[in-house]
Structure 1
Amino acid sequence: MRVPLSLLALLAALVSTAPVSAAAEGAPAWEACVGLTSTPDARIKACSTVIDTRSEGGQRLAGAYCNRGHGLTEKRELDAALSDLDEAVRLDPGYACAYNNRGRVYSFKRDYDRAIAEYDQAIKLDPSLALAYSNRGEARFNKGDLDGAIADFDAAIERDPNCVTAYANRGFVYARKHDAAHALADYSMRIKLAPDLIAYIDRGNVYRDSEQLDRAAADYGEAIRVAPTDARGWRNRGMIRLYRGDNKGGLADYDKALQYDPSDVFSWNNRGQARLRLGDRQGAIADFRKALELRPGLPSAHDALQKLGAL
């Protein structure tokens, strides 16, 4: 989704949504079913216990279906999730959670018009539900309505100034609009609220695209600090080091990137460039050949091998 530079491996920001839940009180199964920290598998198991034993009724039973539907959505078991969310709506037609989570299922199915209709209903029932605005903004973005998406993210943040997802999504849209100042402000707030690998990489990408390479390298370094075994921080910082002529540093970073993700074609290609610049002709040829093995026809690797007389 981002515009790549010549040495950049594309990264996708993943956006997730926590379930809307009633107060977690009662039996352990109910607490795990609605608990915000439950894993998808734990949520599904706990909510299934509530549903199968009918230990809860009314909106709480609807909540069990809604939250199990959320867990199934996170596992991309979309048809099963949709069945649960339909049942939640049947049990309690005025329960905004079910419409919000059902909208996410339709969004994952790429039926964005229907997703937006679900979010509209969730907002109608609960105008304070920040995540419904954020989710609707994501669906509008996916339809190409960038200004409508920003308006929804604005509304989400107005209702919940700590809505990390809305800051992340709005920052991404501003980056797509080449509005670096607003994108950086949103990503900085996201990092303040919930610093993680993707937050630092997203902000680093904006710094990179606006040619603030020192700041980009610093953010990729932070990504490495918080997730040292994830290849993405290493390969992005490696790219910046190559841009700045630090070929030894770039080589070291791509060594790490390939240690953690040996299937990344761009890291093989870029390490080949670093080795070539450092005079390691045979090492460069080996890396370019590996890149072509992973992606036949990759122009940069093909051209490099041709120039080296290694085709």
Structure 2
Amino acid sequence: MRVPLSLMAMLVVLVPTTPVPAVAEGGPAWEACVGPASTPDERVKACSTVIDTKSETGRRLAGAYCNRGHGLTEKRELEAALSDLDEAVKLDPTYACAFNNRGRVYSFKRDYDRAIADYDEAIKLDPSLAMAYGNRGESRYNKGDLDGAIADFDAAIKRNPGYATAYANRGYVYARKHDTAHALADFTMRIKLAPDVLAYIDRGNVYRDSEQLDRAAADYGEAIRVAPTDARGWRNRGMIRLYLGDNKGGLADYDKALQFDPADVFSWNNRGQARMRLGEKQGAIADFRKALELKPGLQTAQEALKKLGAL
């Protein structure tokens, strides 16, 4: 017994990268440039000040380019980020930060071979850099090398046992390999380390796919508790409720999901299913038509409208 694909919500896990700061002791601009709490905009502005004023040289100047490149990457200004990270490598070819962050740019550009080559170099320069292993694991996953990805996430966790994202991504790979026990263990550790909405949804998805639907609903409920204005918890729990035959509960959850994300085609489609099952013909027709407006040709919506005599 599997949950119908028309009711599934898929998630993708990415490894975020954070800057690897050089030793900081150079005034407010330098502090904001390399500080882990800076936003991407703050980082780009501060690092630009450091670079433009020529207040740093050597590795610290490379660090300014490396961290500005990180900020630009987070802003998805990938060509500008690549230029900065190339300059950081030129200034200090022994600086692992530059190779790690440049690998992330190549990863966003889906050039996974070049990303892996840069992560290899970062690891060679700094074998303790857990983030480089985690990022390389993500690129290996995207190339379809699941065992290589797991090995890298293992290495990242060994070097940083509190690396929540590495547990999440390793869990995602185990789920892809249908290794439910290991996936649940990793997602549970992720929840222990960083109990955010995605952590509960990821574990809920494993429970869902292994047909432990009550546990899946409980995790989606926790996602709602943690982030009540995030549509993902509502629509995932709504899907489980519909599958279990709780059409009123499913309808209520999809009402909430659409309140917070009115552009989600499957929420319209699934709320239409709930309304159709509850005998709310006109509401169901309206929902299925909205789903088709958002995704013309959606087969489940077309079939439902034909069944309702509205197509």
Q: If the TM-score is normalised by the length of the shorter chain, which range does it land in?
A: over 0.9
Structure 2 residue 223 is the aligned partner of structure 1 residue 218 = no
Instruction: For 1:106-255, list aligned pairs within 5 A.
Output: 106-255=106-255
Instruction: For 1:28-177, list aligned pairs within 5 A.
Output: 28-177=28-177
Whether contact under 8 Å (1:96, 1:126) holds in the other structure is: yes
**More deviation in 28-37 or 16-25?**
16-25
Whether contact under 8 Å (2:15, 2:135) holds in the other structure is: no
Aligned length: 309
How far apart, CA to CA, are the structure 1 residues paired with 2:5 and 2:189?
26
Measured after TM superposition, the shift of residue 25 of structure 1 is 3.0
Structure 2 residue 266 is the aligned partner of structure 1 residue 266 = yes
Q: Deviations over 1:134-167 (max 9, x none)?
A: 1111111111110011011101111111112211
How far apart, CA to CA, are the structure 2 residues paired with 1:168 and 1:17?
14
Q: Tell me which amino acid in the other structure corresponds to 1:35.
A: G
SS in 2 for 1:148: helix
Whether contact under 8 Å (1:19, 1:67) holds in the other structure is: yes
Q: Tell me which amino acid in the other structure corresponds to 1:181.
A: A
Whether contact under 8 Å (2:14, 2:169) holds in the other structure is: no
Unpaired runs of 5+ residues, structure 1, are none
Structure 2 residue 23 is the aligned partner of structure 1 residue 23 = yes
Q: Tell me which amino acid in the other structure corresponds to 2:203.
A: R
Measured after TM superposition, the shift of residue 4 of structure 1 is 7.3
Measured after TM superposition, the shift of residue 5 of structure 1 is 2.8
Measured after TM superposition, the shift of residue 180 of structure 1 is 0.8
Q: Tell me which amino acid in the other structure corresponds to 1:242.
A: L
How far apart, CA to CA, are the structure 2 residues paired with 1:285 and 1:206?
32
Q: Deviations over 1:153-194 (max 9, x none)?
A: 101111111112211111111010011111111111111111
Whether contact under 8 Å (1:4, 1:10) holds in the other structure is: no
Q: Tell me which amino acid in the other structure corresponds to 1:303.
A: E
How far apart, CA to CA, are the structure 2 residues paired with 1:26 and 1:214?
54
Unpaired runs of 5+ residues, structure 2, are none
Q: Tell me which amino acid in the other structure corresponds to 1:198.
A: L
Q: What residue is the counterpart of 1:282 in the other structure?
A: 282
| Closer, same or farther: CA 137–14 of 1 in aligned 2, 3 Å | closer
Measured after TM superposition, the shift of residue 277 of structure 1 is 1.2
Measured after TM superposition, the shift of residue 13 of structure 1 is 2.9
SS in 2 for 1:6: helix
Query: Once the two structures are aligned, what percentage of the paired residues are identical?
Result: 84
How far apart, CA to CA, are the structure 2 residues paired with 1:4 and 1:199?
23
Q: Tell me which amino acid in the other structure corresponds to 1:250.
A: G
Whether contact under 8 Å (1:288, 1:304) holds in the other structure is: yes
How far apart, CA to CA, are the structure 2 residues paired with 1:282 and 1:120?
59
How far apart, CA to CA, are the structure 2 residues paired with 1:136 and 1:84?
21
Q: Tell me which amino acid in the other structure corresponds to 1:22.
A: A
How far apart, CA to CA, are the structure 1 residues paired with 2:110 and 2:221?
35
Measured after TM superposition, the shift of residue 41 of structure 1 is 0.5
Measured after TM superposition, the shift of residue 281 of structure 1 is 1.0
Q: CA RMSD in A?
A: 1.2
How far apart, CA to CA, are the structure 1 residues paired with 2:189 and 2:258?
31
Q: Deviations over 1:20-61 (max 9, x none)?
A: 112333311111111111111111011111111122222111
| Closer, same or farther: CA 279–182 of 1 in aligned 2, 3 Å | same
How far apart, CA to CA, are the structure 2 residues paired with 1:6 and 1:103?
36
Give the TM-score, by structure 1 length. 0.97
Q: Tell me which amino acid in the other structure corresponds to 2:297.
A: G
| Closer, same or farther: CA 202–4 of 1 in aligned 2, 3 Å | farther
Q: Tell me which amino acid in the other structure corresponds to 2:169.
A: N
Q: Tell me which amino acid in the other structure corresponds to 1:65.
A: Y
